Structure 1
Amino acid sequence: MSITDLLSAEDIKKAIGAFTAAESFDHKKFFQMIGLKKKSPDDVKKVFHILDKDKSGFIEEDELGFILKGFAPDARDLSVKETKTLLAAGDKDGDGKIGVEEFSTLVAES
C-alpha cells in the first residue's frame, strides 16, 4: 500500500510545497492540508504503518526527521528543531518515540 492509496497526491504536493522553508513545518496544518484529519481511524493507522519505515511499531526521532519523505520522496527533511517539536507534540508517554495510538491522537488534535 502506498500513501497515495489513502491520500490525494495533489493535496500532498500542495502541503509539501507549503512547508519548503526551513523551520516552517506545522504538523497541525500539514495533517489538515493532506486530508489526514478527515480520514477514518483505520486509515490514520495505515498511514502510520507506512511512515514507520523500520516496522518497529513506533516512529522514532530519526524517522520523524524524514517524515515528509514518507509522503513525497522529493520532500525536504525536517530540521532538528522541527523534529524535536513534532516528537514533543506526539510523544504522550515520554518514551522518546511515537506509537500508533499517539500518532492517532496527534492527528486528531490537529
Structure 2
Amino acid sequence: MALAGLLKEGDIAAALKECEAADSFNYKNFFAKVGLAGKLFLQNFSGSARALTDAETKVFLKAGDSDGDGKIGVDEFAAMIKA
C-alpha cells in the first residue's frame, strides 16, 4: 500500500513511467500525477486531517531543513524520520 493507502498504484506507476529518462523528473508534475499536489503535510496521510498551524510548520521546517534552503528534501526527511 502506497503512502498509507492514499495513493493509487496506477497513478504512481504512471508518474514513474513519465520520469524514466534521466533528467526528466519534475517534482511538481510528479506530485500532481500521484495526487499529492495541493495537499499539506497531514493531508497526505488522511484527507480529513487538519492543516498544520503556522507555528507547527515553522518548527517542522526548522527540524528538517538541515541545509537551510527553506525546504525539506528527501534526504532531510529521511534523516528526520530516523532521528
- TM-score interval (norm. to shorter): 0.5 to 0.7
Structure 1: where are the runs of 5+ without partners?
6-52, 58-62
- Residues 55 and 83 of structure 1: CA distance in aligned 2, closer, same or farther (over 3 Å): farther
Larger Rg: 2
Which structure shows the bigger proportion of residues in helix conformation? Answer: 1
- Higher relative contact order (CA closer than 8 Å, sequence separation 6+): 1
Query: Once the two structures are aligned, what percentage of the paired residues are identical?
Result: 41
Structure 2 distance, partners of 1:70, 1:3, is 8
Give the Cα separation in 2 of the matches to 1:77 and 1:105. Answer: 23
Amino acid at match of 2:79: T
Correspondence for 1:4: 4
Equivalent in the alignment of 2:66: 92
User: CA separation in 2, counterparts of 1:55 and 1:98?
Assistant: 18
Q: TM-score, normalised by structure 1?
A: 0.44
Partner of residue 103, structure 1: 77
Write the distance in 2 (CA, Å) between the matches of 1:4 and 1:80. Answer: 25
Amino acid at match of 1:86: F
How far does residue 56 in structure 1 lie from its aligned partner after superposition? Answer: 7.6
Question: How does 1:1-110 map onto structure 2 within 5 Å?
Answer: 2-5=2-5, 54=28, 66-109=40-83
**Matches of 1:100 and 1:91, distance apart in 2:** 10
Higher strand content, 1 or 2: 1
Shift of 1:98: 0.5
Ranges in structure 2 where 5+ consecutive residues have no aligned partner:
6-26, 32-36
Q: Give the residue type in structure 1 aligned to 2:58.
A: K
